[in-house]
Structure 1
């Protein structure tokens, strides 16, 4: 796994009324600090990739829908530089995924329904000087094939 990436399995406590689940707690020691929480939805088939940050870590959670999440380590000096990780996240696999600064990340919505993402960052978004570095979804260096391989 890419150095610094953390995966936390989410535990659902269910009863006849529904369910409750804790996403992130201060005693999980996942985020160095808390900056912002955000919520987004993407339609089926949408690819949102790639970008990375120089200052902030991201913590992603998909409470509904399904997503193929791709990470690529860009960090100079990292023992996992150039490594790619793929995670399948969503309502059937409720996990938290910590994405360290310097690791490019993106996702593709899978299935017939939209996917919702809730994400936490260690820094608040700065409109005047955004910590968002963009890389095309089909970047040759990353070389990720976003198509589903039917078997």
Structure 2
């Protein structure tokens, strides 16, 4: 018998009525909620996810003159060395959670 069989004869009769089957059907959408498929790049050293590209003003309270264009999240696994690269016209604001360390070289 396959482990995916719907035959429940192998389960004691007093338990069959207490079981339910998990559904793998797509969930019903929630009114007003949209799901976006973020760009995710991963390799053996971690991952990088582009959460959003912003249009318009993009101002941040407390950072006068700074305009956000993109929001990203990345994870670099211990021991990983990332190669550097250059952006000619870019300023970054980094958030490092208190449980992590940022090493700049």
TM-score range for the pair, normalised by the shorter chain length: 0.3 to 0.5
- Higher-Rg structure is 2
* Structure with more contact order per residue of length (Cα contacts < 8 Å, sep ≥ 6): 1
TM-score, L = length of structure 2: 0.36
TM-score, L = length of structure 1: 0.26
Larger strand percent: 1
